[in-house]
Structure 1
Amino acid sequence: MPGNPSLVLRKVDDIVFEDLAPPKITSPNDVIVEVKKTGICGSDIHYYAHGKIGPFQLKKPMVLGHESSGVISEIGDGVKNLKVGDRVAIEPGVPSRYSNAYKSGKYEIDPDMSFAATPPADPNVPNPPGTLCKYFKSPQDFVYKLPDCVSLELGAMVEPLSVGVHGIRLANLSFGENVVVFGAGPVGLLTASAAKIFGALNVMVVDIFDSKLDLAKEIGAANYTFNSKSGGGNASALIKAFDGIRPDIVLECTGAAPCIKLAVEVVRDGGKVVQIGNASGDVPFPIAEFSTRQLTLFGSFRYGYGDYATSIKILEQNYGQGKDKIQIDFEKLITNVYSWEEAIKAYDTVRAGKGTVKCIINGPE
């Protein structure tokens, strides 16, 4: 029986390679995916550097990774819509099938969700395995077949793209609306890209680094950008840079207190603010302005039913007619690709912030 090479975070500042036991089919609905591509997420870096994100605390070693694609290598007897050899994207969070959240169609807020490479709230429960390994087991309904025009590298980006899609769907973005996205990291850029494809008329991306703002325009995600550090950092300056437009929707992807405040100040009266980025703690909030201007605030957590499928359709629509007709150049977001043997180096590079946008690690061969 072959082993299962895995990348394991043992504790803060301590990542190692380990050869673990491979997963086995235990349900007729199980599939085994041979992982080929995995993206590094900011949450991975938080666990690496700090050992926790809010209530999720690293108490014991865990396999890293949750942004992955691969090839089906084995299926259970009950799997009908997938076959060995299919290229798939893996949705890394599986809820309890008996929870009220699952039954109500909001499985993303299930407190008992098993989410890859995320420590459970109960320290007595084993850590769910991450996807940075050779073989990963999943229920068949949490893996999604990739169209031929969508590469495995792009398949690994379905996870962060789904985060943006979820926020956009919560806000019910309508064709022709104007949108501002705070943050030009991977999630912010993918959220802005999705907003354009959902039909936003104008999209502005806000950040403090001109290189990231230039990339937002270069890939086609934004037709306006604003540097909130050099451009004034206030509502009037931002609105002026947006040709006087007050956005219908603001998608806040930073979690930074000044950005949250500015989001409320710039959105139009009666508009919507979607909080996608996680703050490190409580933040001041302009509640009087929020109330008197009758704004709506949505909390957005991960992704729910339909978001993965929608994200794959976005990539299929974008690349299905050939690269000379693409609307958004998602591939330009992949700035670094590392071999399996370089996986620890990849984490150190992203942690150091050395000009990376989306870093992909190839799976072990």
Structure 2
Amino acid sequence: MRVMRSARVHGPGSVSVDAVPVPAIGAGDVLVRVRACGICGSDLGYIAAGGLGGGVPLAEPLTLGHEFAGVVEAVGPGVDGVEPGLRIAVNPDAGFIGGGGPDGAMAPLIRVQAAALGSTLFALPDHVSDEQGALAEPLSVALHGLRMVDAKPGDKVAVLGAGPIGLCAVAMLRHLGMRDIAIVDRVQSRLDRALALGATLAVNTAETDLADALAGLHGEGERFGTRFVGTDLFVDAAGAAPLLTDVIAVAKLRARISVIALYKKPAPIDLWKVMANEIMLTGSIALDRADEFGEALAMIGEGKVDLAPMVSHRFAFDRFDEAIAVAGDADRSAKVMLHFDGEPA
């Protein structure tokens, strides 16, 4: 039996790289040799929670890894138009790859179920690197969140949180034609990355009042005797309840808020403000996003948005523990990439 190493969560704060069987493929499956896999904030959340969250204990170890690109190694029956050697990025929705399903991409080989070009598998152009291909997943997460609130050119936007998904939101806003983008965080190095990606204004809330900064960029007014800022759209990629509270307090009539962040516990919401100002507040978990995945990959291929500032660190898979530690350090990292060159399987 062939074995390989795979990163798996065993309980709260417990993650290890385990020896597991190389996955067998069947009808509708392909086997992919992983070349690059990003570490997502949700991966860190799964490790901290000891599972998918919600207090549900694990029945078996949780495999990690859903932001990845690689090369098709073997093709099962019933998969058309796909041959070994094809370089691909993978939309992880089918089979909940790295998110509760049996397969995860923090391993040298992964089974991809329901394999089909244009829905699960997306061919990589020669000029797009494996690492860039792996970015299509978080970029499509951001794009899905923007589609949920009908983001459009001319919108005045504030992105809350300059972590990896916040940075992806800035990149996709630029792609969609937005040019009036504030980025909000408490870590200056992350704000600097967002500016390099095309944000207009960096708001460090450790040093600057959020409402004053947004009013300076987007304008302000008064409604029901309280101040509002002229921001049309807020993208919550921070998951910080006090920040969301501050936003709702100053949101204007019919402002839209897209929550992409992973909240680890319930957050208080001023529903009077939501009602009185007809605020649209929606969540986004990015399912059924094949079109958005393809659009994100097309944007990467066009090369009009320089994505280099998004990736802060690269580690070989045998330095997994170090990579996870760096990914969890907001002062040091943005997107952390794992690479699998030479990883045996």
TM-score (norm 1): 0.83
- Specify the alignment match of 1:185 in structure 2: 163
Check conservation: 1:5, 1:18, Cα contact below 8 A: yes
Secondary structure of the equivalent of 1:8? strand
Residue 35 of structure 1 pairs with residue 13 of structure 2: no
Q: Which amino acid aligns with 1:194?
A: M
CA distance in 2, matches of 1:302, 1:23: 26
Range 195-204 or range 241-250, more displaced: 241-250
- Summarize the alignment of residues 276-295 of structure 1 with structure 2, pairs less than 5 Å apart: 276-295=260-279
Structure-2 change in CA distance of 1:231 and 1:45 (3 Å): same
**What displacement does 1:250 show?**
1.0
Q: After the TM superposition, which of the residue ranges 66-75 and 347-356 deviates more from structure 2?
A: 347-356
Aligned to 1:93, the other structure's residue is in SS state coil
| 1: CA distance, partners of 2:254 / 2:288 | 26
> How far, CA to CA, are the matches of 1:236 and 1:343 in structure 2?
42
Partner Cα distance (2:90, 2:238) in 1: 25
- The answer to whether 1:88 aligns with 2:71 is no
Alpha-carbon separation, structure 1, partners of 2:164 and 2:171: 10
| 1:136 to 2:110 alignment | yes
Q: Which segment is superposed worse, 78-87 or 198-207?
A: 78-87
Change in 2 beyond 3 A, CA 1:243/1:293:
closer
Secondary structure of 2:328's aligned partner? helix
1:309 and 2:294 are equivalent in the alignment:
yes
1:122-168 CA distances to partner (integer Å, 9 max, x unpaired)?
xxxxx522111121111213121122222100111111111100011
Asked whether the equivalents of residues 182 and 214 of structure 2 are also in contact (C-alpha less than 8 Å), the reply is no
Contact 2:14/2:50 (8 A) holds in 1: no
> C-alpha displacement at 1:280, in angstroms?
2.1
Q: Can you list the C-alpha shifts for 1:160-190, whole angstroms capped at 9, x where unaligned?
A: 1111000111111122222111000000110
Q: Distance in 1 between matches of 2:322 and 2:193?
A: 24
Identity %: 27
Q: Distance in 2 between matches of 1:360 and 1:18?
A: 19
Distance 2:181 2:78 in 1: 45
Distance 1:343 1:294, change over 3 A: same
Q: Offset at 1:68?
A: 1.1
2:214 paired residue number: 238
In the aligned structure 2, how far is the partner of 1:361 from the partner of 1:170? Answer: 30
**Matching residue within 203, 208, 214 for 2:186:** 208
Q: In structure 1, list runs of 5 or more residues that go unmatched.
A: 95-113, 120-126, 320-325
Distance 1:255 1:57, change over 3 A: farther
Inter-partner Cα distance in structure 1 for 2:251 and 2:107:
43
Q: Are 2:196 and 1:218 aligned?
A: yes
TM-score (norm 2): 0.88
Whichever residue aligns with residue 93 of structure 1, its letter is D
2:239 to 246, 250, 255: 255
Q: Secondary structure at the match of 1:172?
A: coil
Alignment of 1:298-337 (within 5 A): 298-305=282-289, 306-317=291-302, 319=303, 326=304, 328-337=305-314
CA positional deviation for 1:263 = 2.7
Residue range with higher mean Cα deviation, 46-55 or 128-137: 46-55
Paired amino acid for 1:115: F
Instruction: State whether structure 2 residue 97 is matched by structure 1 residue 116.
Output: yes
Question: Which residue is 1:25 aligned to?
Answer: 25
TM-superposed CA distance for 1:249, in Å, is: 1.2
1:181/1:251 contact within 8 Å kept: yes
Structure-2 separation of matches of 1:260 and 1:354: 21
Partners in 2 of 1:13 and 1:296 — Cα distance? 36
Instruction: Report deviation, 1:33.
Output: 0.7
- Rounded Cα–Cα distance in structure 1 between residues aligned with 2:216 and 2:155: 18
CA 1:161/1:351 → structure 2, altered by over 3 Å: closer, same or farther? same
Assess if the C-alpha contact under 8 Å between 1:47 and 1:58 holds in 2. no
> Match for residue 109 of structure 1?
none
Q: Secondary structure at the match of 1:79?
A: coil
Partner SS state of residue 49, structure 1: helix
Paired letter, 1:308:
F
Take 2:251 and 2:330, find their aligned partners in 1: how far apart are those partners? 31
Distance 1:239 1:33, change over 3 A: same
Partner residue in 2 for 1:274: 258
Structure 1 pair 201–14 and aligned structure 2 pair: CA distance change class (3 A): closer
Q: CA RMSD in A?
A: 2.1
Count of residue pairs the alignment pairs up: 328
Residue in 2 that maps onto 1:110 = none
C-alpha displacement at 1:353, in angstroms? 4.2
Deviation per CA, 1:41-81, whole angstroms, max 9, x where unpaired? 11222232331443254343233211111001111232223
